Structure 1
Amino acid sequence: MSADRLRRPGAAVPAPRVAERTLGNGVHLVVSRLATTPLVHAHLAVPLDVAALGEGPAALADLAAVELLAAALVEHPAAHRLEERGGTVSVTRRRRLLVLTVSAHREDLDVVAATLGALLTRPWAGDPRPAALAACRTFSALVQSQPAAGSLATLWRRVYEEVPVALFPAAPPAAFAGAVPDPAAVRAGRTGPRGAHVVVVGDLHEEATLDAFAGALSGWADERDPAVPAPVPAVPVVRPTGHLDREVAGRSATHLRWAAPAPGPEDPAAPVAALVLGGNFSSRLNVVVREELGLAYRTAAFLHEHGDRSVLLVEADVTSTRVGEAHDRIGGLLARYAEHGPRPEELRAALAYTGGRYATTLASQSGRAACLLSYLTTGLGLDAIATLPQRLSALTVEDLRAVAARWHPDRSWSVAVGHAVHPHQHQHQHQHQHQQEVLA
């Protein structure tokens, strides 16, 4: 089917029906019935009281304490009891959020609610610190060993004078070398019901589910200091122009990364523009850089949210002998996209793809739960889900060009991290002007 015949998404995809309740302690409950499988999925997002998750040694210690708490919660007796019944429990830090995810059979709905309540309020049966510390050290070492994590860290150091630790995928191993804090004290001092969202999706009855989770979470008290100020957003600094090179011995490939300013999540043009640029196999980056020129074995472009601003990340994994050529080609592609925007057929194809993803995501239990939670934690609100198809249909080529104009190489940072990367390999580099307003 040609791109001209692809339908634009419209109002045919209904927004999910939800039931809501806000508890006296501030917890916001959202429930949506979707009986595709006999399961229930519950997500709880807790804003971390992490004014210290800014910069420096104190911030690293705070980050390590939060990650130890996440690992300790998985060792909680309530988590073990649910797993013995066939359920699953996971706890992750997503920048400045602690996200607890619990899934189980629909007949265990009350157990799911009780599990979340116990994880947030009940003591551990023993000392979870040895197991939690071992898990954190293992995960930290794994992250540190990944080339992609290293290149992203290098890029953030290019953007920020001192990188906010909330951007770290994991605390570095050295952060776990000192005294191990008590998880119960960290839980009391760093988490609380104020601003927390709970999303439950599955084969359920909405009012009964609201009652079950209200009963389990109403006793969750907030012990945090309400006077603690919110973290101050980190501000990019002016850097010297040019391309940053860094050699890492023992790697045959080089990671090229760009960071460029992007609108916030309220603008539907931004994710569609990123999709056209590098979001799938038919995107410009993949077709030109990977398939036509053979310069990279992986390319991608996507929006990265990190709490205080939005950034477009562009990635390419290239052979180290062709770094300069790949850098110039991608820079030229970004410049043309910034100046001219997408072609009409690219916009139509991207809108059809986005509309299809929207429909399939909301049609699955786990996808709907993740979508609802994302709209809540980014501040968009659930009403934005209902209007998304119409807002997508209204997008024009000029809307995407206006977004892409912010991604011009002259308004971006770029780094190359890999084996045998030297400045003389870049013979025709675009000189980037790293301006103060880049991520404003």
Structure 2
Amino acid sequence: MTTAHRGAEEIGRTERGPRPVPELGEHRPAADLSSVDTTLGNGLRVLAVRKPTVPMVELRMTIPFAGTDPLHPATAEVLAESLVTGTATRDRIAIDTELALIGGELGTVVDPESLSISASALASGLPTLLDVLADLLVNASYMDSEVTRESERLIERLAIARTQPRTIAREALQRKRYGDHPVARETPYAEDVAKVVPERVRLLHRAAVVPRGSSLVLVGDIDPERAVADLEKAFAGWESQLSANVLPELPEVTGGDIELVHRAGAVQSQIRLSARGIGRSDPRYAALQLANLAFGGYFSSRLVENIREDKGYTYGARSGFEFTGAGATLVVDADTASDVTAAALLETRYELGRFGLVPPTEEELESVRQYAVGSLLISTASQTGLAGQLSALVDAGLGMDWFLGHPDRVAAVTAEQVTEAALEFFAPSRFTGVVVGDADLLGPQLAGLGGVIVERS
């Protein structure tokens, strides 16, 4: 006997109507996490947290890594790619072998603000992991052959990346927001990478890979006190009188015209809007977090409902925070077909204006409140997720107290506070941004909306 296939709508209904959705349970506070937050003798801030869910340990190190030299972005990228290729006593194979024996991994990434090192290993292998990491921090060799190999690979990747619409849109938005500030130089040029010689990388390492002003987060099946002692011992040789290079203060993002950046023949457009926000330490942050979720921060938001679900202008639209240091900006983005770009921008502006005038309902507020707390607890249920969250907090000068207290702050936000945040931070006049697309097609359409200027390259 075969059973007819039932669709989701049929499954979700009974003879008496839609099946009731179970009520969400009460949020339980995060488990008590023993931790130590201290600064080592060499100036490195360490936050070590015991979370023995699995016999593993996660490590996140952040070294402020700003630079004003025109070749700094390229040199920093080559350094990040070459850092783990060898030391005076370990070559690439030896490093990989030692990490493999402890179930370990180690990787690096760099941006205009910082050099980040992520690692994981079996908890029993933590001493080995710290020994390898300390060796890299103090004795990375940057052999000519390794630097050349990594530079060639990087040049290939950059050539591809610079053809991607999202990369083009990101660069255009950064220029629009920050001009020639170093934060805008996120992706180096291939021709600059070709100019980077091994000695330049070695000099940058000695000058900028320093402990003072840097931070390290350790999460896992560890004793925090003992882990800090192990770190102090392992990093005894990593010292410098210099402090890490902090990114200069960013210009304030101010509202203004949207810039149409020409991309000849493009069949899709990238809409990127941005406004000044506030960082996590601001007392208004929890209210703004909920306001952002209601506007465009998750799938049931107003922006998604309008330009994705109702109008079908895009597969995805979102709003969210970008954190830099202790501050933050709001970003709204969507990718659309060229023929509906103007309409999508119009609806986005409409939703921004409506958001302050028609604030979230009690039902919307409770939905985003549950989502905010639930997603925080889910994202930090694993060692990896907790390490990532805490690393971001430490970078902003915060720590465990903020993390443990945030669910209560979210729970205490009132509808009036969310309304105030919507009015203050989501006003259309506060936003600027870019649209990347074919100006020959989009120019006349966007001109009719007003507030759009055209750049041709």
Q: TM-score, normalised by structure 2?
A: 0.84
**Shift in Å, 1:236:** 5.0
Q: Distance in 2 between matches of 1:14 and 1:217?
A: 31
Residue 259 (str. 1) matches residue 281 (str. 2): no
Runs (5+) with no aligned partner, structure 2: 1-18
Whichever residue aligns with residue 252 of structure 1, its letter is: V
Most deviating of 349-358 and 229-238: 229-238
Q: Secondary structure at the match of 2:37?
A: strand
Residue 248 (str. 1) matches residue 263 (str. 2): yes
Instruction: Pick from 291, 306, 315 the counterpart of residue 288 of structure 1.
Output: 306
Residue 233 (str. 1) matches residue 253 (str. 2): no
Q: Distance in 1 between matches of 2:434 and 2:116?
A: 31
- Output one character per residue of 1:239-288: Cα deviation in whole Å (capped at 9) or x when no partner: 8x543222212432111111112112222223322222112211111111
Whichever residue aligns with residue 408 of structure 1, its letter is: A
- Output one character per residue of 1:47-105: Cα deviation in whole Å (capped at 9) or x when no partner: 22x352xxxxx3x3112121111111132336434444242111011431111111112
Most deviating of 328-337 and 258-267: 258-267
- Output one character per residue of 1:156-198: Cα deviation in whole Å (capped at 9) or x when no partner: 22223x2323244321223213242423321111121101211
Which residue in 2 is equivalent to 1:411?
430
1:212–1:139 CA distance, 2 compared to 1 (3 A)? farther
Asked if 1 retains the 8 angstrom alpha-carbon contact of 2:85 and 2:142, the reply is no
Whichever residue aligns with residue 183 of structure 2, its letter is: A
Which residue in 2 is equivalent to 1:109?
126
- Find runs of 4+ consecutive structure 1 residues off by over 4 angstroms: 1-9, 228-231, 236-239
Which residue in 1 is equivalent to 2:418?
400
Which residue in 2 is equivalent to 1:438?
none
**Shift in Å, 1:395:** 0.8
Whichever residue aligns with residue 99 of structure 1, its letter is: S
Which residue in 2 is equivalent to 1:424?
444
Q: Distance in 2 between matches of 1:79 and 1:43?
A: 18
Please identify the structure whose Cα radius of gyration is greater: 2
Describe how 1:194-205 pairs up with structure 2 within 5 A: 194-205=212-223
**Shift in Å, 1:413:** 0.7
**Shift in Å, 1:291:** 0.6
Whichever residue aligns with residue 71 of structure 1, its letter is: E
Q: Distance in 2 between matches of 1:51 and 1:70?
A: 14
**Shift in Å, 1:308:** 6.8
- Output one character per residue of 1:94-135: Cα deviation in whole Å (capped at 9) or x when no partner: 431111111112221111111221111014284331123123
Q: Distance in 1 between matches of 2:140 and 2:359?
A: 56
**Shift in Å, 1:22:** 2.0
Describe how 1:49-128 pairs up with structure 2 within 5 A: 50-52=66-68, 58=69, 60-76=70-86, 77=91, 79-85=95-101, 86-124=103-141, 126-127=143-144, 128=146
Which residue in 2 is equivalent to 1:133?
151
Q: Distance in 2 between matches of 1:238 and 1:194?
A: 33
Whichever residue aligns with residue 212 of structure 1, its letter is: D
Asked if 2 retains the 8 angstrom alpha-carbon contact of 1:139 and 1:170, the reply is no
1:418–1:186 CA distance, 2 compared to 1 (3 A)? same
**Shift in Å, 1:306:** 2.9
Q: Distance in 1 between matches of 2:197 and 2:142?
A: 18
Whichever residue aligns with residue 377 of structure 1, its letter is: D
Q: Secondary structure at the match of 2:116?
A: strand
Most deviating of 349-358 and 423-432: 423-432
Which residue in 1 is equivalent to 2:295?
277
Most deviating of 229-238 and 67-76: 229-238
1:223–1:62 CA distance, 2 compared to 1 (3 A)? farther
Asked if 2 retains the 8 angstrom alpha-carbon contact of 1:243 and 1:429, the reply is no
Q: Distance in 2 between matches of 1:125 and 1:311?
A: 36
Asked if 2 retains the 8 angstrom alpha-carbon contact of 1:82 and 1:88, the reply is no
Q: Distance in 2 between matches of 1:125 and 1:163?
A: 30
Asked if 2 retains the 8 angstrom alpha-carbon contact of 1:21 and 1:28, the reply is yes
Asked if 2 retains the 8 angstrom alpha-carbon contact of 1:260 and 1:413, the reply is yes
Q: Secondary structure at the match of 2:219?
A: strand
Q: Distance in 1 between matches of 2:61 and 2:195?
A: 30
Asked if 2 retains the 8 angstrom alpha-carbon contact of 1:244 and 1:415, the reply is yes
Describe how 1:212-227 pairs up with structure 2 within 5 A: 212-224=230-242
Q: Percent identity?
A: 25
Describe how 1:230-379 pairs up with structure 2 within 5 A: 231-236=247-252, 242-266=257-281, 267-307=285-325, 309-379=327-397
Q: Secondary structure at the match of 2:319?
A: strand
Residue 171 (str. 1) matches residue 191 (str. 2): no
Runs (5+) with no aligned partner, structure 1: 53-57, 434-440
Most deviating of 72-81 and 380-389: 72-81
1:70–1:79 CA distance, 2 compared to 1 (3 A)? farther
1:367–1:249 CA distance, 2 compared to 1 (3 A)? same
Q: Distance in 1 between matches of 2:21 and 2:95?
A: 49
- Output one character per residue of 1:372-410: Cα deviation in whole Å (capped at 9) or x when no partner: 111110122321112111111111222222222222221
Q: Secondary structure at the match of 1:363?
A: coil
Q: Distance in 2 between matches of 1:142 and 1:306?
A: 27
Q: Secondary structure at the match of 1:219?
A: coil
Residue 210 (str. 1) matches residue 225 (str. 2): no
Whichever residue aligns with residue 426 of structure 1, its letter is: L
